[in-house]
Amino acid sequence: MSKTDSPNDFEVPQVADWFQNGFHRFLSPYLARHFHAIAVAKGTKPVEPSDAAVSSQHLNRDLKEDRSGLQLSGSDPIGTEQSARDLVVGAVEPVIVFGNHPGWWDPLIAHFLNQQLLGGRQFYAPIDASALENYRVFARLGFYGVDLNRTSGAAAFLKYSNKILDQGRAALWITPEGRFSDARDHSAELMPGLAHLCHRRRTGYAIAMAMEYVFWDERLPVCLVRFGSPISLGQHDQWSKSDWSIQLTKQLRDNQKELAALAIRRDSSHFENLLKGRKGAGGVYDFFRRTKSWITRTEFQSQHGKQFQ
């Protein structure tokens, strides 16, 4: 979309299934080459009602294996039946996922998470309009341009986003910090467009997402994700825009603190791994290790630790 386009000219990006499916076939192996794991904190995945019973059965089974009772601030202990259930969202209502913005990988990770966790909903995300001019292929994957450097940009964002969410089974992924920020830096104010959007909507859910890129035992990093409790947009008519801003900020920052506590523990048993990436050092180092194992007739262990086995 060019900078001269008006909000009234906006058309919801048309995403061809064949093109998006091809992108997903490329995306998973690509991420697996660059990450050891992409993992979601147990009990925080957004699921639809039809999947909730199955999810609860799986997680209740996990309870028998993990009774550590990890206590996070402001939450129930992980390992209890109450906190083990995933987060249920309506089957046909749109979803707004708003998260922190720690790095360059965020859009690709978001597309991957949408496919894995919200596969029935079409992915959409705002992107700088000038960037979309240079990479028009992104529009075929659900990205749409917004020029936040102009006074009309905020109004255009609201109109574009509302039109997308009116489609029903849509998932809108937003990074309201508006800039790259360290995962432990909570000083940035959230851009007001998110609160305005939630205030206007009468259907759907807003879900906070915290994300960190950490190095544990392996050469490649791990992407850790935690989702907050879904906020039903239709059940808070009494909230003002200011109320929404306060609640959304609290949801995101509290969720980041919860994830930080898990990251510091360096224990993969509290996460469900969605992507098994590469392990070991690779290259010459692993070549000599393999050779040594062959000479000594011992089993070669490429993985350096026991995380995400």
Q: Along the 309 residues of the chain, how does pLDDT read in single tens digits?
A: 433 345 556 778 789 999 999 999 999 999 999 999 999 999 999 877 655 544 444 444 443 444 333 333 334 333 333 334 566 676 678 999 999 999 999 999 999 999 999 878 999 999 888 888 888 888 899 999 888 767 778 888 999 999 999 987 899 999 999 889 999 999 999 999 999 999 999 999 999 999 999 999 888 999 999 999 999 998 998 999 999 999 999 999 999 999 999 999 999 999 999 998 665 544 544 444 455 555 665 654 555 567 777
Helix axes 193-200, 241-265, angle to 10 degrees: 120
pLDDT of residue 119: 72
Q: Which residue has the tokens 């360059």?
A: 104
**Could you write out the DSSP letters of every residue in 99-151?**
E---STTHHHHHHHHHHHH-TTSEEEEEEEHHHHHH-GGGGGGTEEEE-TTST
Which domains does the chain possess? 7-276 (3.40.1130), 279-309 (no CATH)
CA-closest candidate to residue 167, choices 121, 111, 206, 230: 121
SS3 category, 231: strand
Dihedral sign for Cα 224, 227, 228, 229, please: negative
pLDDT of residue 298: 62
CB atoms within 10 A of CB 164: 21
